[in-house]
Amino acid sequence: MYKKKPFFVTFEGIEGSGKSYQSIKLYKNLLKKNISAILTREPGGTKSAEKIRDLILKDYFYAGSKDKFNKLTDTLLYLAARNEHIENKIKPNILKKKVVICDRFVDSTVAYQIYGKGVNKNLIDSVHKHILKGIKPDLTFILKVNISVAMKRIKRRKNKNRYDKFSKNFYSKVQKAFIKISKINKRYIVLDNSKESSDMELIILNKFLQKFAK
């Protein structure tokens, strides 16, 4: 029997890494063990944040248009969605002593916006100082993947958003950023999810339970 307590776990990785699938698996496995948990995602997670998600991820300009949001506009929309998400979902559930499982969080902003797109780090750090208010993950799984495998997985998707349409080089750059980020804190666990294997969900569950039981 596990003691009820707040715990914030995030899943990070490039498109095609399997992080969304594995976050769902962990959520279902925790429910089977009667551990009180919720599953959410970024951008999104609340009605207001999901509306911002639609703006960010859909091809919001007409087909063939060269118009697109400036990278700062794009980043600020992500941060606006995060603020809504923290205030209305993450923080309330942490206060209820639930396990919060989130598909993407601040590390994606660092990897994609700072390393991938060259957005100023000080801008993001400044906004985070106001909206995070001490909330940070207790555990982060970074799923790495062979880039060619990731591209094949993305190609199989029926519904693609514009983040599924980046170049191989861009995904490679972002994945390297995730690996670099993982070296700064012990809360990160990096796992290679290149193979299609049911073992991964058990590995993740066991690593979660080891941290959660402490």
Q: Above 60 in pLDDT, residue 63?
A: no
pLDDT number for residue 67: 67
Domains of the chain by start residue, with CATH = 7-212 (3.40.50.300)
pLDDT digits (tens, 9 = 90+) for 13-52: 999 999 999 999 999 999 999 999 999 999 999 999 999 9
CA 111, 148, 113 angle in degrees (round to 5)? 15
69 backbone dihedrals φ, ψ, rounded to 5°: -65, 145
pLDDT higher than threshold 70 for residue 212:
yes
Q: What's the confidence (pLDDT) of residue 70?
A: 85
Query: Residue 210, class by beta-carbon neighbours within 10 Å (0-12 exposed, 13-18 middle, 19+ buried)?
Result: exposed
User: Residue 149 above 80 pLDDT?
Assistant: yes
pLDDT at 68: 75
The angle formed by the CA atoms of residues 97, 99 and 205, to the nearest 5 degrees, is 145
Mention every residue, 6+ apart, whose C-beta is less than 8 A from residue 184.
none
